[in-house]
Structure 1
Amino acid sequence: MPQTVLITGASGGIGRATAREFARRGARVGLVARGRAGLEAAAEEVRGLGGEPLVAPADVADHTALHEAAAAVERHLGPIDVWVNVAFTSVFAPFTEITPEEFRRVTEVAYLGFANGTREALSRMLPRDRGTIVQVGSALGDRSIPLQSAYCGAKHAVNGFTSSVRTELMHQGSNVHITVVQMPAVNTPQFSWVRSRLPRHPQPVPPIYQPEVAARAVLHAAAHPRRKQYYVGASTVGTIVANKFAAGLLDRYLARTGYDSQQTGAPAHPHPDNLWKPADADRDHGAHGVFDDSAHAHSAQAWLPRHPALTWSGAAGLTAAAATAAAWLHRTRRAG
């Protein structure tokens, strides 16, 4: 029996790539986002790959609109088995250059949008006592960086919120599961349509991965949701481990490097952004951003959980890497 999946932020980036992965498995896919052109193009891809799409435009910050989108998905495609929260927006700027209205908007989409989606999913899954919610998180939900205070705050909030909901489900003995997939830097269109006050074109902090890497991890997490979190990319694991052992050192390192590493050498040019209006309402931008030449199409670290026979050796390798990172950070701190 084909699964019914609802994906927010499905018109571009990780959401778009995730829709394609589920479609390859014959899923019925509810596509939720604001941009009509992006949604229609995503629906064509889902259909072409063997899935059954339904376009359901909605702003995830509007819980009423999200409720109506979910109702349409279940009315046309059947009960939702998997709900994937992806949608977000952001502002690239120092905190003092972000207006209160902009900060609130990012929070409403990137954090409250996840809460709205989770609430809507639970209202449908709990009575059936089955279903899976996948939160697309970020390494920045554990380790904040400069110039992304609103986004980092939202991703930290998603982690805390999700842990609370998970323990409530456990208390109830529910067969509904919730998990988080923590992502690295990903080559999505957001870096061309995000609101930015930086002097140069924004970029993800290398190493950069293609959205298909993230999408495969989401698919695996949806099929194996009992694990609390999944980590995509060695950079994600390294960042989280380093932050546990030497957060102060990372503060100083990011203070020195975090501005330049988030900008290309090209000057910024005025462009429409997607903070208040969708950037793909009239033109489809696809899943990929402009960093194809430097983005990795595979992640060995993300590959390991999908191959259980190698999980123990992979875990041992990560443990050794963590120990090495900790020792290096300790020596660096003492030397400083």
Structure 2
Amino acid sequence: MRISLKPLHEQVIVITGASSGIGLATARLAIEKGARVVLVARNEAALFEIERELNAGNRVLHVMADVGERAQLERVASETISRFGGFDTWINNAGSSVWGRFDEVSDEDHHQVMQTNFWGTHYGSSIAVKHLRDKGGALINIGSVESANALPLHSSYSASKHAIKAMTEVLRVELQKSRTPVSVTLVRPSSTDTQFMDHSKNYLPSAPVFPPPVYAPEVVAHAILHAAEHPQRDVYIGNAKLLSRLAQNAPRLADWVNRTFVYDSLKSGRPDRHPRGALHDSDVGRAGDGSASGNYPGRTLARSLYTRASQHPVATTAAVAVSAAALVALLGRRGR
């Protein structure tokens, strides 16, 4: 069954976790492309400022909601339908995290990560599919390189992303079997420079840091919005596919890499400015919001060649062919 999606300028797009990071970068780009956008997050003050910053008139609606509460996401859908008549793409991006040894992190904190990440995506997917079942559209869930390659000191986050991957794959097959015209995509970013670390609760002796290479959030935003127009099963950012294949095909080697190189590299040695993060509602806003980019101290990459090649295969093939032809012509001239 062929699924046809609207161009972005004709779409209404719901984005959870839109007050910072990948969600905010995606919202900005969607507005730039002419879409109408619904911003969802727990920090209403930040959402209000972002809506004012976007300056897109009646093309933006913000709704404060905790994605871990189904009733609150039902209200997001209801207010979106009331304002815009419906939506065409729903992006489950909201996420939370805690860093620390499995046995040192409290059950409450492990539970909160699963509630936000897995159940928030579960609720959002259920609500989105119910609305899109007859009219068609796109459901985009944000997974991670950790959907396949679990990071040490990040057990509940990795577990939540594994669970999101499994749920997304089951839902996709069931919708395909019933010939439901909804595209279901799992986006798998690798390390991304957002406020993720500031928002994470931290049990480690120093601030956590992602292993390089690290990508700008706009790289992920472009990939997400491409999937909102062009149905795609999986979208890997940067080295996410390589690391996923390593974990799947050589798990003992992946364990050795994580144990030998990754484990200690996750500890920056720098003081953590926000060790409580924004895991629980009482801490929302304390670690900052309103910025797409974070404070990664190293170099961030503004493009992922692999992602671009996988999403634009024809253009990539043409570019390679032109480059090869130019190289052949150049070598031919030198050989004369």
The TM-score with structure 2 as length reference comes to 0.87
Q: Which residue of structure 2 lines up, in the alignment, with residue 22 of structure 1?
A: 30
| TM-superposed deviation, 1:305 | 3.0
Provide the rounded CA distance (Å) in 2 between the counterparts of 1:157 and 1:312. 35
Q: Which runs of 4+ in 1 moved over 6 A?
A: none
Report the secondary structure of 1:56's partner residue.
strand
In the alignment, structure 1 residue 80 sits paired with structure 2 residue 84 = no
Provide the rounded CA distance (Å) in 2 between the counterparts of 1:314 and 1:138. 29
Structure 1 window deviating more from structure 2 (248-257 vs 88-97): it is 248-257
Q: Which residue of structure 1 lines up, in the alignment, with residue 114 of structure 2?
A: 107
Q: Is contact 1:107-1:150 (8 Å) kept?
A: yes
**Cα shift readout 1:129-166 (whole Å, capped 9, x = no counterpart):** x1110011101001111011000000000010011101
Q: Which residue of structure 1 lines up, in the alignment, with residue 306 of structure 2?
A: 301
Structure 1 window deviating more from structure 2 (78-87 vs 238-247): it is 238-247
**Cα shift readout 1:217-261 (whole Å, capped 9, x = no counterpart):** 001111112x2111111x112101222331101102211222222
Q: Give RMSD over aligned pairs.
A: 2.1
Q: Which residue of structure 2 lines up, in the alignment, with residue 256 of structure 1?
A: 260
| TM-superposed deviation, 1:102 | 1.0
Q: Which residue of structure 2 lines up, in the alignment, with residue 56 of structure 1?
A: 63
Alignment of 1:188-267 (within 5 A): 188-225=194-231, 227-233=232-238, 235-267=239-271
Provide the rounded CA distance (Å) in 2 between the counterparts of 1:254 and 1:305. 27
Alignment of 1:180-195 (within 5 A): 180-195=186-201
Alignment of 1:152-171 (within 5 A): 152-171=158-177
In the alignment, structure 1 residue 289 sits paired with structure 2 residue 289 = no
Letter in 2 for 1:237: K
Q: Which residue of structure 1 lines up, in the alignment, with residue 146 of structure 2?
A: 140
Provide the rounded CA distance (Å) in 2 between the counterparts of 1:100 and 1:22. 38
Letter in 1 for 2:192: V
Q: Is contact 1:38-1:286 (8 Å) kept?
A: no
Letter in 2 for 1:94: R
Letter in 2 for 1:123: K
| TM-superposed deviation, 1:274 | 0.8
Letter in 2 for 1:54: L
Gaps of 5+ in 1: 316-336
Question: How many residue pairs end up in the alignment?
Answer: 311
| TM-superposed deviation, 1:200 | 1.2
Q: Which residue of structure 2 lines up, in the alignment, with residue 32 of structure 1?
A: 40
Q: Is contact 2:277-2:287 (8 Å) kept?
A: no
Q: Is contact 1:11-1:31 (8 Å) kept?
A: yes
Match of 1:66 among 61, 70, 73: 73
Provide the rounded CA distance (Å) in 1 between the counterparts of 2:288 and 2:273. 19
| TM-superposed deviation, 1:208 | 0.5
Gaps of 5+ in 2: 1-8, 321-336
Letter in 2 for 1:240: S
Provide the rounded CA distance (Å) in 2 between the counterparts of 1:157 and 1:37. 31
Provide the rounded CA distance (Å) in 2 between the counterparts of 1:127 and 1:265. 52
Q: Percent identity?
A: 32
Provide the rounded CA distance (Å) in 1 between the counterparts of 2:253 and 2:288. 43
**Cα shift readout 1:12-39 (whole Å, capped 9, x = no counterpart):** 1100001011101111100011012321
Q: Which residue of structure 1 lines up, in the alignment, with residue 278 of structure 2?
A: 274
Letter in 2 for 1:58: A
